[in-house]
Structure formats: C-alpha cells, structure tokens
Chains A and B, each alone.
Chain A
C-alpha cells in the first residue's frame, strides 16, 4: 500500500461515507480499506462522526407555530408589496420635483429672461498676440442655431410639484403606510450612508440582480 494510494483514497472517502460513490469506484475503495488499517480507521471515524450528527434533530417549535406560519408569511408579503408600491410613489414624486426644478432653471436661462435682465457685459477683446485658445470658426452668414425652446408656461412650478408630492404621500398613507414607515422608506431611498441601502445578500435570481430603479419601474411589484 503506497502513500499516494492512501492520499487518493482519502480524497474519495468523503464521497464514500456520504454514499455518493457506487459501482466500480466504490468497490475499489472498499478493497483498499480492507487492506489498509490506517485508511480503514479514517473511514470508520468519519462514519462514526456522521452517524452522531444524523441523530441531532432541532426541536419542533410546535403546532401553534406551524399553524401561524402561513398567515404570518402572507402578512409579511402584503407588507412588502405595500412598501414597494410606496417606493414607486416616492420615486414618481422625486421625478416630478426634478422636472419642476429643471423647468425653473430653464425659465431662468430662457432668452426672454435674459432680455429682461438687460445686455450682458461684452467679453474682453481678444489680444491677437496672445496664445489664447482660438474661437471655433463661424461662417460669416451662417445663421446662428436657434435658441432652445422656452419651457412651456404650463410646466410645474416647485409649489405645484410639492403639492403633487403631498398628494402622492397622502395616497401612500391611505394605502396603509404610517408616517414612521414612510420615513424609513425615505431613508432607504436616500440613505445617510451610501452603503446603508446596499443589499448584502448574494445574487439569487434575475430579480435579485435588478437595480432599485428597475424594481421601481416593474409594474408587477
């Protein structure tokens, strides 16, 4: 019996004692164990440890526990669905606020507002001898690009966006979210620490791979 034989057999012992080696390979190992007291003792020790382990059964939490298991799970699922709906509402509200803010910025930068502010000071004359960056060539009679279209007058103001946000939050509250939960959800959407909202669990399915944004846009919740 060689050491290399023993090493190879011991690599296979775990499969043997757990019943995953059968047929010719199993017979070869059993033959080796009959001829090698050291490997045989190793296999016996492994089998004994496993047999002790198999006797260990966790305590049964009892009939009342199992009776309530499904109901508690359904309540947990319902709470999770409410939470996801609220997250979508909050994302929609945030989008409304963002659009309104951009609209306000656009209004401030619109040609009409620039005219109202009066002519801007002209830029300093370019010194022909300086190595300044040359201006891009402009054709003498080429029409200037049309100014960006001004924001329609009916775009949301911040006040209107806040009113929409209020309405969305009231809708969320009407669906059963209490203010404390809403705060927790807001914390989750914009955590104090960037990693607070990270999912520490592994990837389990395509759904688990999705980003929060994809989650929020999923109509199935």
Chain B
C-alpha cells in the first residue's frame, strides 16, 4: 500500500510549490509516486536492481527538470515517460545478450497453486516486443488512457490503441495457443 502525503494537495500544487523553492514539496511527490514508479520500472525490466536504479534516476531527472516542466501532460505521465526512456536505455545497455524470456522472474510469496500460471504469464509478458510490453504495462498496471499512453510513450493515439490490441492478442496466443482456425475475419 502506497503511503503518500496529504491527498488534498494535487501533484500540480506540489510542483508549483517546488518551483517556488519549497524543497519539501519534491519529497512529497517522491513519497506519493515512488511505489508506482518502482513497480513500473520493475515490470518493464524484471529486475529489482535495475528497477531501483531507474526509479532513483527518474526522480533525479524530475528534480533537475521540474522547473522546466511545461504541464502539457500530468506530472505522473511526464514521470512515466522518463522511466520509459530510462528503461529503453537500460535494455539497450544489455545489448539483448539475455533473451527477454530469460529475464528474472518476480519472486512470489508462496508456491501456491497458481504459481505455474503466474510464471507462464510473466514469461509471456517478458516475451512481448518492447513497444507492446510498454503499452500493455501502461494500460493494465498504470491504468492510463490511450491519450496518456500516447504522451508517455511518444506515439500517436492510434498507434497506442493498435499496439495495445496487438499486445493483448499476442499475450493471449502465448498463454493459450488456439487449437483451431478462427472464423469471422478475413
């Protein structure tokens, strides 16, 4: 459960306070968004160490860039875009030496009956093309609208919708390959 500062104060108000010189406003923004940003980085990268580094670096860049923040997107969308760009950099750094499917799996609290299914889901998500994975994570876990995904991922709204559709279909086929041909579509 994310514990944040006074929910009455919006991100925009905190940003405004920070720009006016109140450093504590930035600390409030960090407390409010750190869990979500860490989880986003983790889902994009699949490793605690990389997620931690990206989350810290994202907040550092936000600190440095906040005075130039134009407010065209929400603070969270802007921060998400920073995380995506950093994650892309990390992935390039890996030089794809490790197949995505071999990315570290999340540690599950217990070996419950659904653990095998969870592993299967994780592998399926990890095996998606990077762009599809980004859009899927932003839609499903960040709960973003397609307009926000377009801003955060730097693509058109139409591309965001099409990429999401492809990602879900791709995921579905990886989880349960269809036995027979589907009808109704040419």
**Contacts from A to B (Cβ < 8 Å):** 1, 3, 6-7, 10-11, 13-15, 17-18, 20, 36-39, 41-42, 45-46, 48-50, 52-59, 61, 65-66, 69-70, 72-73, 76-77, 80, 200-202, 204-208, 220
The answer to whether B30 and A69 touch across the interface, beta carbons within 8 angstroms, is yes
The answer to whether A14 and B165 touch across the interface, beta carbons within 8 angstroms, is yes
In the complex, which of the residues A37, A73, A208 contacts B65, with contact meaning CB atoms closer than 8 Å?
A208
B17 at interface, CB cutoff 8 A: no
Given known pairs A202-B85, A204-B85, the reply for A70 and B48 (CB within 8 Å) is: no
A46 to B164, CA, bound (A): 11
Chain B hits for A208, CB < 8 A: 61, 65
Nearest CB in chain B to that of A46: its residue: B168
The answer to whether A11 and B165 touch across the interface, beta carbons within 8 angstroms, is yes
Among B55, B68, B106: residue with most chain A CB under 10 A: B68
Nearest CB in chain B to that of A79: its residue: B60
Chain A hits for B139, CB < 8 A: 18
For B160-186 the 0/1 string (1 means CB < 8 A from A) is: 011011001101100110000011111
The answer to whether B172 and A49 touch across the interface, beta carbons within 8 angstroms, is yes
Q: How many B residues face the partner with a CB closer than 8 A?
A: 65
A205 to B78, CA, bound (A): 9
The 5 closest A-B pairs by CB, nearest first: A38-B184, A14-B165, A206-B68, A49-B172, A205-B65
11 contacts between A and B (CB under 8 A): A3-B186, A6-B185, A10-B185, A11-B161, A13-B165, A14-B161, A58-B39, A59-B109, A66-B34, A69-B34, A76-B60
- Closest-CB distance, B133 to chain A (whole angstroms): 11
A207 to B136, CA, bound (A): 29
In the complex, which of the residues A18, A200, A220 contacts B92, with contact meaning CB atoms closer than 8 Å?
A200
B90-123, CB < 8 A from A? 92, 106-109, 114, 117-118, 121-122
Among A13, A17, A202, A206: residue with most chain B CB under 10 A: A202
- Closest-CB distance, A104 to chain B (whole angstroms): 38
A17 to B67, CA, bound (A): 38
The answer to whether B56 and A76 touch across the interface, beta carbons within 8 angstroms, is yes
- Closest-CB distance, A197 to chain B (whole angstroms): 15
The answer to whether A72 and B56 touch across the interface, beta carbons within 8 angstroms, is yes
Chain A hits for B16, CB < 8 A: none
The answer to whether B185 and A52 touch across the interface, beta carbons within 8 angstroms, is no
Given known pairs A3-B184, A7-B186, A204-B82, the reply for A73 and B56 (CB within 8 Å) is: yes
A41 to B34, CA, bound (A): 39
Given known pairs A13-B165, A50-B140, A80-B64, the reply for A70 and B30 (CB within 8 Å) is: yes
Chain B hits for A36, CB < 8 A: 184
The answer to whether B67 and A7 touch across the interface, beta carbons within 8 angstroms, is no
